[in-house]
Structure 1
């Protein structure tokens, strides 16, 4: 996100009171990104407190992920889905960072992620990043890393194939769509470290599994954990 865009957003905030992206109500003084009511009623998973949880089980038999969790459920038709679409497609990157900070505080409080050494955002292909102007997963990763007190590595892992959107693919084709889509440019930066791989939304887990596999192949001495901001209740088989 350019400095000019940041400045324009700051100026706009002076004239247009910010609203909660979940419910649409004006944010009160002291409220940041999401209003207090929506925070209190958020569809949080609680998976970051459990070593064995439905997100972790998605990777069993696919890739040896050390820890895995999702922060909230991605619910169709809900305001939380609109919040995610806001930073995914409409430039609301500040919301992505604030949500990352919230998630990061929970990860830190759980104690299960205390030994994370570096946070790696799931990379976008350069063409897609150019069209969007930013990678929303980087802002989520920044928020998480700030709370864990570690660095963000945006350069070691790259997306070498501009794959079609997973949302447009049938479930059975998603793993094939992202096969060999990722490469590691600097395995020495990850070797021997505990890497936390961060993405915005996880459905089947195919994309995260493909990226984690690429990291482990390039740096076999590292451990990879996964943190997805939002996860699909249906894909995880979790009842409402």
Structure 2
């Protein structure tokens, strides 16, 4: 960074200081999106290092996955919940991409995801995407794909039914709500490939599993792994 650039950065920071998306404190030079303290105390799951983890076990008997993991525990009444809601509902798509890159670095370093061929974001229905303006899972997928050195496949999977919100539904209701909601087109783009399906939040897993099952039904010669940025500790039966 040149002296002029540093000066402009300092002036901009003085009047418009960037804040940590978790705690709200000003970010120091070199920090991005989440401050060093919040990164050090983040509720990380560590699942990406384990071939057998609670997310993989959630898939047993439902969808045959190669790998599956979650990055953070979704902690209610916390700054992490606010961070997720900022890109899910308040337009902070850059935060989603930065979080994807952070997650992607760990996935790459684990060695368990080294043969992934492409990343597929869980699709939004066109009506919901139009209303929101973007699909936050696409930005998470972009960050992960950049770290894994692969491409993002946006056109092969789509949501053909505008489902109701999964919030406040029981596990059985969630599964019924997303049944038949997804479809595959251009199956040849996924044929023979190891696909990493990405979503922002996994609660019961109904949505991710429904989409993964449809991909495998339509493209039986592909392999599939799952990655959720945040997962529910309670639903996975992990002690708090």
Q: TM (normalized to structure 2)?
A: 0.93
Q: How does 1:195-214 map to 2 (within 5 A)?
A: 195-214=195-214
Q: CA RMSD in A?
A: 1.2
Aligned residues, how many?
A: 229
Is residue 2:51 matched to residue 1:51? yes
| 1:227 match | 227
Counterpart CA distance in 1 for 2:239 and 2:67 is 22
* Regions of 4+ moved over 6 Å: none
Counterpart CA distance in 1 for 2:211 and 2:172 is 18
- Describe the superposition over 1:82-110 as per-residue Cα deviations: whole angstroms up to 9, x where unpaired: 00000000001111000000000000000
Report the 3-state secondary structure (helix = DSSP H, G, I; strand = E; otherwise coil) of the residue aligned with 1:80: helix
Is residue 2:96 matched to residue 1:96? yes
Q: How does 1:32-47 map to 2 (within 5 A)?
A: 32-47=32-47
Counterpart CA distance in 1 for 2:216 and 2:15 is 49
| 2:216 match | 216
Whose Rg is larger?
2
Is residue 2:76 matched to residue 1:76? yes
Q: TM (normalized to structure 1)?
A: 0.93
| 1:170 positional shift | 2.1
| 1:4 match | none
Segments of structure 2 that go 5 or more residues without pairing to the other structure are 1-11
| 2:175 match | 175
Counterpart CA distance in 2 for 1:177 and 1:31 is 40
| 1:183 positional shift | 0.4
Counterpart CA distance in 1 for 2:167 and 2:106 is 28
| 1:26 match | 26
Counterpart CA distance in 2 for 1:137 and 1:168 is 21
Segments of structure 1 that go 5 or more residues without pairing to the other structure are 1-11
